[in-house]
Structure 1
Amino acid sequence: MRVVLALTAVLMLAGAIPAAAAPASPAPETLCQVKDKRVNELSGLVSDGEHWYAINDGGTKVQVFVMDRKCQVQKVLTDPTDPYDVEDFARGQDGTLWLSDTGDNRAKRETVALLELKPSGGPAVVHRLTYPDGPHDTEALILDQSGTPFLVTKDLLGTSKVYKPSAPLATPGPTKLEQVGTLRVHSTDTPGGPVGSFGSALITGGATSADGKVIALRTYTDAYLYAVPDGDVAAALQREPVRIPLPNEKQGEAIAFEPDGTLLSASEGVGEPVRAIKNATALVTPQASAPKPGGAATPQPAAEDADGFPVVPTVAIAAVVLLAAWFLLSRKRRRS
């Protein structure tokens, strides 16, 4: 951990991680603790208003844990399909569950996949996807009002990319993805996560409100809520978000909306809590519908030297490389 803190400090001094002041927002309320040892790597969460549906990341078969409001597992939906690394979870308007098998820490997968599962039963349907620009590690899935999936990458250098399918999903595919935007989240001083301040800039999950008017992205330490007044997710991510700190989550990756607009968050680890921010969607005011000045969600070009190469402090590059290597090696998952 001292190595992580030291590298993060180097990045801060080098100007690679600008600090952001936290706005006033309600504190998360603990609802219950997930003590079932089967749900030890909770990475995705959705709600139908009566039950919570939870997934672990990784795994050798599809497993969806159906929990009550006391974090007790009531049943498990299973399918023999062997995913590579499921990282996020979404629920369609018709109740269909979508598992985002898009984790790729080593950036070597030729295809990723969305797994479609009906709670009423039947086999999982696999939809394979390909990126237009090579592999990415992706931990956030968002469904828009029409059910179109959007993937937001987890980028170690701070600028995430946003993709959606370029055509209707094929079975098994692959269907080509197209990039529809970029997103930059700066580090914050919210405590928590496995890698200190560095983790506060890594996108680890996404969610959509029941009416589709608000979308949420989260890092290990904070949630960001965006207004989607017209259903256009790509445009929404160009707007100024409302930031909600989610302090002291061990490894926060799960985020979800209740039908009433309550925001839920949860972390990996047995005994970790599910927490709630009541009426979270009400925090996104009409003013949030305005685009950021100059489209601030898209990063500005880096300064260049006389030969046209980006100017980045050498110490920052070294720190990023070392920290990225440490982070990848320290992750417990996955298969080679």
Structure 2
Amino acid sequence: MRRPLALAAAVLFALLPAVPATAAPMDPEDGTGGRNYPRGGEGPEGSEIVFNFQDERIAESSGLAPSLRHEGVWWTHNDSGDFAAEVYAVNEEGETVATVALNVELRDWEAISVAQGPEGEPAVFVGDIGDNFGGSWPNIRVYHFTEPEVLSDMVLDPSVLTFTYEDGGRDAEGLMIDPRDGRLYVVSKEFAGSVYAAPENLDPVGENVLSRVDSAPLFATDAAFSPDGTRYAIRTYWGVTLYDSTDGVPGRSVGSFDLPEMEQGESVAFTPDGTALMAGTEGMNSPVWRVPLEGEQLPDIAADAEADAGGDASEASPVSDAEDTDEGGSTGATPLILGGVAVAAVLIGGIILLVRRL
């Protein structure tokens, strides 16, 4: 997303103190911030910067995903703008260890995911899914290529998947792929965003229709599945909401919390062990934060490991009452829509004018 709209979003957020930044259950008795209160901007205790991007070419990191072949390696890319159509493999020191140039158009790259590809090998999926013109593109595209076994600079012709929305064009920045069945999901970035599911069987040549399956938090900028698929995260500029997807998507919200304050928070990914989120932002030499998870927000793979080590994830849960507030279904952005639609209707005209003038 370009900076004018980001500024407009910030204005709207400031004008809507009663509307949550992420739609998820909140403790009404806890008005001081914390892991289940999406304000503050400090992030959960234990949040820390893991590395800063060292490559000057990475000026607007807009997506982040861990490698499935190379331990300690993360894939990223730039947003739309005057950038080369390149994907970067970065190590835990923030150094670029490989550059993969793709012979395609960089229209508005917004997300990246690494999952099993059509050939059964790890593949890198790049989401050309953004639309700064409010859904004017006739379709969106997801490029994918087999993750290299040896990290080195190369030029590739990726495969292309083409998508349309069942309910008209959307601006989107979230792309996630369920590791259990390979199903792809796109999360739109709007006042009332949505989660869209791709068909179970993708047409590699024709257009694939994305079907709306749930609502999403306000201004979602990325999304990601845990390594075992039992949780997924949707982040916004300000915070993140976690969902239990043990029984599939849409999942049940298991709480939300602030992410550390960032210049323009754009990316999120689970660590390979599932114990934390990695969150990034645009900007030169921008930082990537590690944000620990606990309790219900831990995916099964991490909770089981904690239990084997003698811990009890359920006792540590900061949102132990989340199930009582959201029985049997997903929350998405429904509370946001119901609670803020009246105010948003008054302000939306002013926000649009502000965007046009910036």
TM-score, length of structure 2 as denominator length: 0.73
| Gapped regions of structure 1 (runs ≥ 5) | 186-200, 304-310, 331-336
Shift of 1:18: 4.6
- Report the more deviating stretch, 267-276 or 113-122: 113-122
Helix, strand or coil at the partner of 1:250 = coil
Aligned equivalent of 2:93, options 42, 62, 70? 70
Q: How many Å apart are 1:117 and its aligned residue?
A: 1.6
- 1:203 Cα deviation (Å)? 0.3
Does the Cα contact within 8 Å between 1:63 and 1:79 map onto a contact in 2? yes
Q: 1:177 aligns with which of 210, 221, 226?
A: 210
Residue 327 to residue 105, structure 1, CA distance change in 2 (3 Å): same
In the TM superposition, residue 103 of structure 1 has moved relative to its aligned partner by: 0.3
Q: 1:300 to 1:203 in 2, by over 3 A?
A: closer
SS for the counterpart of 1:96 is strand
1:216 pairs with 2:248 = no
Q: 1:50 aligns with which of 62, 72, 89?
A: 72
Deviation at 1:240, TM superposition (A): 2.4
CA distance in 2, matches of 1:210, 1:281: 17
RMSD over equivalenced CA pairs, Å: 3.1
CA positional deviation for 1:35: 3.2
Q: 1:172 to 1:277 in 2, by over 3 A?
A: same
| Distance 1:143-1:327 versus aligned 2 partners, 3 A rule | farther
Q: Is structure 2 residue 21 aligned with structure 1 residue 38?
A: no
CA distance in 2, matches of 1:67, 1:36: 9
User: Which 5+ residue runs of structure 2 have no aligned equivalent?
Assistant: 1-5, 36-43, 149-153, 299-312, 315-319
Residue of structure 2 in register with 1:116 after alignment:
144
Quick check: 1:146 aligned with 2:181? yes
CA distance in 2, matches of 1:63, 1:283: 33
**TM-score (norm. length: structure 1):** 0.78
Encode CA deviations 1:34-56: one digit per residue, 9 max, x unaligned: 13221011010011232111111
The CA distance in 1 between the partners of 2:126 and 2:189, in whole Å, is: 17
Cα deviation 1:216-265 (Å, max 9, x = unaligned): 111111122212223x122x1xx223323212100011111121123111
Distance 2:267 2:73 in 1: 15
Q: Distance in 1 between matches of 2:336 and 2:240?
A: 26
Residue deviations 1:55-80, cap 9 Å, x none? Answer: 11225653110111010111101111
Where 2:220 maps in the other structure, the secondary structure is coil
Aligned length, in residue pairs: 297
> Do the aligned partners of residues 279 and 167 (structure 1) sit closer, same or farther apart at CA in structure 2, a change above 3 Å counting?
closer
Could you tell which deviates more after superposition, 1-10 or 174-183? 1-10
Instruction: For 1:1-336, list aligned pairs within 5 A.
Output: 8-12=13-17, 17-18=19-20, 21=31, 22-24=33-35, 25-48=44-67, 49-58=71-80, 62-93=85-116, 94-106=121-133, 107-120=135-148, 123-144=157-178, 145-155=180-190, 157=191, 159-166=192-199, 168-183=201-216, 185=217, 201-230=218-247, 232-234=248-250, 236=251, 239-261=252-274, 262-279=276-293, 283-284=297-298, 292-293=326-327, 295=329, 296-297=331-332, 299=334, 313=342, 316-327=344-355, 330=358
The AA in structure 2 aligned to 1:223 is: V
Letter of the 1:80 partner, please give it: N
SS at match of 1:207: strand
SS in 2 for 1:319: helix
Structure-1 residue corresponding to 2:302: none
Counterparts of 2:91 and 2:280, CA distance in 1 = 15
Q: Deviations over 1:284-309 (max 9, x none)?
A: 46666778147443627988xxxxxx
Q: Deviations over 1:126-172 (max 9, x none)?
A: 111111111100100111121100111101x2x21111123522223
AA partner of residue 245 (structure 1): D
